Chains A and B, each alone.
Chain A
Amino acid sequence: MNGPVFIAGMGIVSAIGNGLPANLQSLCEEKAGIGEMHFLNSVLKGELPVGEVKQSNAELAIATGLSVKSPRTALLSGLAAGEALRDAGWDKNNSLRTGFISANTVGGMDKTENFFSLFSKNASSGRLADVVNHECGAVTELVANLLGIRHFVSTVSTACSSSANSIFTGARMIRAGLLDFALVGGADALTRFTLNGFNTLMILDKELCKPFDENRRGLNLGEGAAYLLLASENGLKQLDKKPYARLSGYANANDAFHQTASSPEGTGSWLAMKGALDKAGISPGDIDYINLHGTGTQNNDIAEGTAINLLFGPAYPKMSSTKAYTGHTLGASGAVEAVYSVLAIQQKIIFPNLRLQTPMKEFPFHPVTACLKNQRVQHVLSNSFGFGGNCSSLIFSAA
Chain B
Amino acid sequence: MQTDRYISASCLIARNKINKNGQILFEYPGPVEKFLEETYKYFEIAYSKFHKMDLLCKLGFVAAEILLKDSGHKTKYGETETGLILSNAHASLDVDLKYAKTIKEGASPALFVYTLPNIVIGEISIRHHFKGENAFFVFKHFDGNFMADYINGLFDNNLIKNCICGWVDILKEDYRALLFLIEEGSSETGLVFSAENLNLLNKKDHG
Contact = CB atoms under 8 A, between A and B. Distances in A.
A199 to B, nearest CB: 7
B93 A135 contact: yes
Interface string A369-399: 0000000000000000011111000000000
A257 B96 CA distance: 23
A259 B138 contact: no
B136 interface: yes
A200 B107 contact: yes
B77 to A, nearest CB: 14
Contact of B149 (A176, A198, A390): A176
B142 interface: no
Nearest to B79: A256
Dominant SS among interface residues on chain B: mixed
A172 interface: yes
A157 B122 contact: no
A116 B100 contact: yes
A137 B126 contact: no
A165 interface: yes
B139 A137 contact: yes
Contacts of B129: 256
B167 to A, nearest CB: 14
Interface in B96-151: 96, 99-101, 103, 106-109, 112-123, 125-126, 128-140, 146, 149-150
B30 interface: no
Interface in A254-308: 254-260, 267-268, 271
A390 B131 contact: no
Contact of B132 (A113, A135, A197, A253): A253
A55 interface: no
A196 B107 contact: yes
Number of chain B interface residues as a range: 35 or more
Given A156-B135, A389-B122, A256 B112 contact: no
A252 interface: yes
Contacts of B135: 156, 158, 165, 169, 252
Contacts of B100: 112-113, 116, 193
Contacts of A328: none
A55 to B, nearest CB: 26
A197 to B, nearest CB: 4
Contacts of B114: 259
A101 to B, nearest CB: 9
Nearest to A270: B131
A272 B153 CA distance: 18
A169 to B, nearest CB: 7
Interface string B64-85: 0000000000000001100010
Nearest to B119: A388
Contact of A154 (B89, B109, B119, B139): B139
Interface in B25-83: 79-80
B206 interface: no
Contacts of A173: 149
Interface string B147-170: 001100100000000000000000
A144 interface: no
A192 interface: yes
Interface in A143-174: 154-159, 165, 169, 172-173
A259 B113 contact: yes
Nearest to A156: B137
Given A135-B91, A155-B137, A156-B135, 20 more contacts: A107-B91, A137-B89, A158-B118, A169-B150, A178-B149, A193-B100, A193-B115, A196-B107, A200-B109, A252-B133, A254-B121, A256-B131, A258-B122, A259-B122, A267-B131, A268-B131, A386-B118, A388-B118, A388-B121, A389-B134
Interface of B: 79-80, 84, 89-91, 93, 96, 99-101, 103, 106-109, 112-123, 125-126, 128-140, 146, 149-150, 153
